[in-house]
Amino acid sequence: MDLAILREWFDRVDSSQTGNITASQLKNALAVGNLDLPLSVVQQMIRMYDFDKNGTMSFEEFVALNQYLLKVQQAFSDLERGQGFLLHDEVHEVAFQSLQMFIVKLGFSLDSPAFYTACESFDQKKNGTFRLDAFISLCIFLQSARNLFNSFDTNKQGRVTLDMNQFIYCTAVDCDASHATQVIQEWDSGFWFLY
């Protein structure tokens, strides 16, 4: 997308003209682009692209997020074209059985149990399909999980060992309380989805 258009979009949302936007303002900006994402996902986006760690998003961070979202949207569009799409209530949806190779295309290598567990937690209607906003939410979650995992995988071996303090940190750093509870339940059942 043209930087001038992005700048105009950003400036319109930055009503206080601070050069930074909050999660609520970013949510509104995304809604203008027909992306209705939960505030918790938008907050996670800010954490992912908040390079200066000030809790808001600068224009440069906004541009980086936009590039990532375009990549994810392109993967979703490719999936629709390649696999066909289901039209429900005039909303494009894709079955998540078809999704795994596109998750790999985006750089995530998950085994089937991890993949399906992650998909099920973002399948709001519990019908085995994804709309674009749910697909973006899934990709944001996976990217955040990978970033967090990599911070503990200092030897780059694809495995980590966590003590209780580190585990609590992991469940609290990138998610809200309800998601932390889900992570703990999955851990307790013997399954951990960060591979």
Distance, in Å, from the CA atom of 177 to the CA atom of 82, rounded to the nearest integer, reads 37
Indicate the pTM of the whole model.
0.73
Q: What is the pLDDT of residue 194?
A: 40
- Give the model's pLDDT for residue 117: 86
Residue type, 71: K
Q: How far apart are CA 127 and CA 106, in angstroms?
A: 24
pLDDT digits (tens, 9 = 90+) for 72-101: 888 888 776 655 444 344 445 566 667 877
Q: Which residues fall within 8 angstroms of residue 112, CB to CB, at 6 or more apart?
A: 100
DSSP code at position 85: -
Which residues in the chain come in under a pLDDT of 70? 1, 80-97, 173-195
Task: Write down the pLDDT at residue 94.
Answer: 65
pLDDT score of 1: 65
Predicted pLDDT at 107: 85
Ordered structural domains, the chain, with CATH? 3-186 (1.10.238.10)
The C-alpha atoms of residue 63 and residue 49 are separated, in whole angstroms, by: 10
Residue 100: its pLDDT value, please?
Answer: 79
CB 129 within 8 A of CB 123: yes
